[in-house]
Amino acid sequence: MFWLEVCAAICCFTCLLARKIPTYDYLEDNIYTELRSLLDDRDGWKEGGGGVGHPREERGWTPGLVLGQVAGVSVDPLGRPVLFHRGTRTWDYLSFNSSHHYQEGGPLEEDVVVVLDPDTGEVVRSWGRGHFVLPHGITVDSKGNTWLTDVALHQVFKFGGEREESELSVGEAGVPGSDDHHLCKPTSVAVTSSGDFFVADGYCNARILRFAADGTLKDQFGHQGSEGSAGALYVPHGLALDETRDALCVADRENHRVVCLKAGLQHQQQFGQPVMTLQDPNRSRVFDVAFLNGMLVGVGGSEDEGVATGFTADMDTGDLLDAWAPLTGFHNPHAISVSQDGVAIYVAEIGPNRVWKFVLDTPATF
């Protein structure tokens, strides 16, 4: 297994050279020094990146249907991956006007929420026809409720169990805003065991909102900026919640970082206090994050940026532990989710429109 990883690393470096990317921009900075040390440290690989195992692509696993832009992925309590895709619709520079109002049509008349068999990738169930305009984020909570964000509707929805009518919504349909009753292109949701939930709001407002289970706004944090403080966010794009640590981690996309904050679950006044920042985990934009056995995993980068990888980091130290990708590489990874038993990782991509399944190598597999 170690030599397979060595070969994969050599392929990555070869790709960098083939794309004529200046090597001094990559190989001499701290991120790639860390990646190189991971490759050199056989004992580190034996521990599987901090003891969580190295994510390895499950070859041949693929959904049995044609997908649109796969904006989101989550995993339900039964271990089934659940996708949120855009069907025949795409998001481009003409989709919104300067005031963030959507310009390109009404609800999608196709099922855009798809539940898959975790072993075969075959479709178990699909739904969502006529509900959504431009899908973005999906979270299935521990009770089986499905939370969805729609950037064109500027809303967040909660669907209970297998019901196909929402039981809760936040925001006003089609109306962007920045006050306590409106959202603007919300991206992601994280849900507590008590039913409180956090919303990354998102492309316009650059804030994190905390709501009670009934949808009442309790608190908010953040502002648009890039000055380096924990509250300076520039497209908060993904959320991950670890209740045992009272930590809410934000994929701060355009600031190329993950910023972790106090969730304020024990003491509400602590909400927003900085816990840890992981800057440039893969030297590119960070799109999404998730927790895996106490570690942080995420995806970032794109073809246009010259690098696209998954990464594993230590929540205690902020150290980068591992970098990973399918054998053929990522193109535009957009979302990540982990099964509740920590066995499988799923990554959704936009262009090509697909979802990957990774399993964790056990320690000492070579």
Residue in this structure with the two tokens 């969580």, named with its chain if needed: 52
Residue ranges for the binding site for Zn(2+)? Answer: 136, 237, 334
**Can you tell me the distance from the alpha carbon of 236 to that of 332, in angstroms, rounded to the nearest whole number?**
17
Residue type, 105: G
**Can you tell me the distance from the alpha carbon of 296 to that of 268, in angstroms, rounded to the nearest whole number?**
23
Q: Can you say whether the dihedral through the CA atoms of 220, 226, 230, 233 is positive or negative?
A: positive
Nearest to 249 by CA among 263, 236, 264, 259: 259
Q: How many CB atoms lie within 10 A of CB 24?
A: 8
**Can you tell me the distance from the alpha carbon of 279 to that of 258, in angstroms, rounded to the nearest whole number?**
6
Instruction: List, in sequence order, every residue forming a beta bridge with 344; answer none if it has no partner.
Output: 359
Residue ranges for the binding site? Answer: 73, 86, 136, 203, 237, 253, 334
Residue in this structure with the two tokens 């072993």, named with its chain if needed: 119
- Distance of alpha carbon 260 from the chain centroid: 14
Residue ranges for the binding site for Ca(2+)? Answer: 73
Residue 236 · residue 258 · CB < 8 Å: no
The residue count for the chain? 366
**Can you tell me the distance from the alpha carbon of 17 to that of 294, in angstroms, rounded to the nearest whole number?**
35
- DSSP reduced 3-state for 341: coil
Residue ranges for the binding site for a protein? Answer: 86, 203, 253
